[in-house]
Amino acid sequence: MNITWDAEKYTKEFSFVHQYGNGVLELIDREKAKTAIDLGCGNGALSRKLKDMGLDVIGIDSSPEQLGIARKDYPDIPFIEADATSFSVDDPVDIIFSNAVFHWIDKDRQPDMLKHVSEALTPGGQFVFEMGGYGNNRLIHRELRKAFERHGYSYRMPFYFPSIGEYSAMIESAGMLVTYAFLFDRPTELRGDDGLGSWIRMFIRTPFIVVNDADKEAAIISEAVENLRPDLYHDGRWYSDYVRLRIKAVKP
């Protein structure tokens, strides 16, 4: 999925995305690793964490906007512009890490991505990641679909949110063995009085291509937000109904 990011706003207002990645780092067996790739590194914040763990890390991302931030903030880390479904490296690495990236990749491209991950790992290498899982943002997407239909548009789901079983099978078909998998709810606080609307405008981009009308887009978002208020607005704060899939696999 190709979108142009407002990288400065993403870094400033949606820092929770990479902050939650800190828990994923705990799955890494550091004693068996020296080199790493942060796949879908974004602004490089978690690449920095990997380097601070003593790993020789490379960041890979397809967004030049995000990589611009990463290179400015972390000049001691090499960052490469490449697509997760087609990347390659000269030398295999011990760890491929990723946070909040793979659900952006269409389902039919997932086998390509996992194939390249497997090829980029050393024997015994670790594949550690978190992504949106089955049921992620179910309430938000349901209300957006209804709002689209009221205005005469079809809503195309822009993400892939798999179950443990579905995604584990894909990983093992690519030549890796799943050793840990956890699907869990993580309601996440969104900043500000317009927290949910701002979140939708940042992350739910491609469905609005068919709208192509700023006033109608604003009306759709406003209607969805108001209909979600009873479920996702509590004690003066907005929340997103996240469900995350966290997995560790190894290459035999």
- State mean pLDDT over 42-46: 94
Q: Residue ranges of the domains in the chain? A: 7-137+159-189+242-250
User: Which superfamily does CATH assign the domain made up of 7-137+159-189+242-250 to?
Assistant: Vaccinia Virus protein VP39 (3.40.50.150)
> For residue 21, what are the CA distances in angstroms to 2, 167, 233?
22, 19, 24
> Which pLDDT value is given to residue 3?
53
> Which pLDDT value is given to residue 32?
80
> For residue 91, what are the CA distances in angstroms to 37, 74, 154?
11, 22, 45
Dihedral pair phi/psi, residue 55, rounded to 5°: -95, 145
Residue 235 CA to residue 242 CA, distance in Å, equals: 18
Question: Is the model's pLDDT at 141 over the cut of 50?
Answer: yes
Question: Is the model's pLDDT at 81 over the cut of 80?
Answer: yes
Q: How confident is the model at residue 21 (pLDDT cuts 50, 70, 90)?
A: low
Q: How confident is the model at residue 15 (pLDDT cuts 50, 70, 90)?
A: very low
Question: Is the model's pLDDT at 251 over the cut of 50?
Answer: yes
- State mean pLDDT over 139-156: 98
Percent of the chain past pLDDT 70, that is, above it, reads 92
List alpha helices for the chain, DSSP H: 7-13, 16-19, 21-25, 45-52, 64-73, 110-119, 138-150, 164-173, 195-203, 214-232
Dihedral pair phi/psi, residue 73, rounded to 5°: -80, -30
- State mean pLDDT over 72-76: 97
Residue 62 CA to residue 104 CA, distance in Å, equals: 12
